[in-house]
Amino acid sequence: MSTRHFLMVGAGLSGAVIGRSLAERGHKITIVDSRDHIGGNCHTHRDAETGVLVHVYGPHIFHTDDEEVWNYVNRFATFRPYKNRVKTTSQGRVFSLPVNLHTINQYFGTTLRPDEARAFITQEQADTSITDPKSFEEQALRYVGRDLYVAFFRGYTIKQWGCHPSELPASILKRLPVRFNYDDNYFFHRFQGMPEEGYSDMIAGILDHPAITVQLETTFNREMGAAFDHVFYSGPLDGYFDYELGRLGYRTLDFERFTYEGDYQGCAVMNYGDEDVPFTRITEHKHFAPWEDHQGSVCYREYSRAAGPDDIPYYPIRQVKEKALLKDYADLAEAAQNVTFVGRLGTYRYLDMDVTIREALDTANAAQAAVSNGETLKPFFVSVL
């Protein structure tokens, strides 16, 4: 067997899972991360003052239909059942999300049953003149109508994305269900849960292998790659090329942390649908671990804005302009030597954790097959455009 020395840039899920998979096949793995902790954006840490497990870069809830991925994460952590039940404050009242029978009855002051609610929304609210919704706005008007769109989606989306919903693709809204029953589970996946001791603890387990060395507070540069057989890079794609063609656009988040004695809002996630409330949501982290008991509470007020050069990139914008630039960077990547671009930053896509792990496992398998066949490893093992 031919043993290689691989460098993983990034100790998030992508770097950890690819690294672990290749370590288990006998390769030597070095992982660098510029941050002082593992876990990437899934990082969790226990707040010293309150004992609350805090999701440092925003709340993360694990949900998947991929049984292999579910089994994989359960190898490294004990998962507790957790359902994401989101509330929203809009026009001075609190409603249930995603839009469900409770939301409809609350909003319109009705007592409709499922069939009645479906008929009411489709016949009296939805704009059926829109046959093929192209934008976020058209999708909302077509399926829930103007009243619910304005109350729950328009203001929130303007704050979240910094542009009008008429300029955004319909696909963003398609992530959210509309239900004509009282099911208020935000997700519909078969497997949903939270790692009991947090994501960083789970990722520490993935990294715990004798062939893996992790170096924190170490920023990758291209010269570093020369000492390795191949690099798996989960940092920003444009950053690898020193932004020579310009910057791919991202939204960043500012978290305003505050503490509270007791229960601040009674739920983990409270969205704010009104445009004149400057933040999009407040998350109360102890409610992400309902099996724990803490008197103190840690909350984050979340604000979204365009990412500048020194900000953490969170959501790739992926509009027409960004996609054209992405194509140019993908061409540079195709020509680069000994590097594979992986993960949400390396491929400039929004990826849930389960998809990140699925792609990381597939990437490691494909890389191993290439090594075994004496082939060159590809710059991308997924389609990024």
Within a 13 Å sphere around the CA of 62, how many CA atoms are in the beta-carbon half? 28
Least distance (Å) from ligand FAD to the CB of residue 31? 9
Which residue from 178, 175, 173 is spatially nearest to 100, judged by alpha carbons?
178
| CA torsion, ordered 349, 352, 357, 363, to nearest 10 deg | -20
User: Of the ranges 119-127, 258-266, 339-347, 374-382, which one interacts with ligand FAD (CB under 6 A)?
Assistant: 339-347
- Diameter of the chain by CA atoms? 69
Q: For ligand UDP, what does the binding mask look like between residues 219 and 258, x meaning CB under 6 A? A: ----------------------------------------
Can residue 219 be called a binding residue for ligand FAD (CB under 6 A)? yes
Whole-angstrom Cα distance, residue 168 to residue 138? 10
175 is an active site residue? yes
From 142, 154, 179, 349, active-site residue: 179
Whole-angstrom Cα distance, residue 101 to residue 184? 9
Can residue 107 be called a binding residue for ligand UDP (CB under 6 A)? no
Least distance (Å) from ligand FAD to the CB of residue 340? 13
Whole-angstrom Cα distance, residue 196 to residue 81? 9
Whole-angstrom Cα distance, residue 57 to residue 44? 8
Q: Which of 113, 134, 175, 321: binder of ligand UDP (CB under 6 A)?
A: 175
Q: What 3-state DSSP class applies to 331?
A: helix
From 238, 302, 354, 359, active-site residue: 302
Q: What residue 199 binds from ligand FAD, ligand UDP, none (CB within 5 to 8 A, per partner kind)?
A: none
Which residue from 335, 349, 354, 352 is spatially nearest to 382, judged by alpha carbons?
349
Q: Which of 61, 231, 330, 371: binder of ligand FAD (CB under 6 A)?
A: 61
Can residue 192 be called a binding residue for ligand UDP (CB under 6 A)? no
Q: Which of 57, 62, 156, 288: binder of ligand UDP (CB under 6 A)?
A: 156
Contact 271, 157 (CB under 8 A): no
Can residue 32 be called a binding residue for ligand FAD (CB under 6 A)? yes
Q: Which active-site residues does the annotation give? A: 175, 179, 251, 281, 302, 350, 352
Contact residues for ligand FAD (CB under 6 A)?
A: 9-15, 32-35, 40-42, 58-62, 219-220, 234-235, 239, 253, 314, 343-345, 351-354, 356
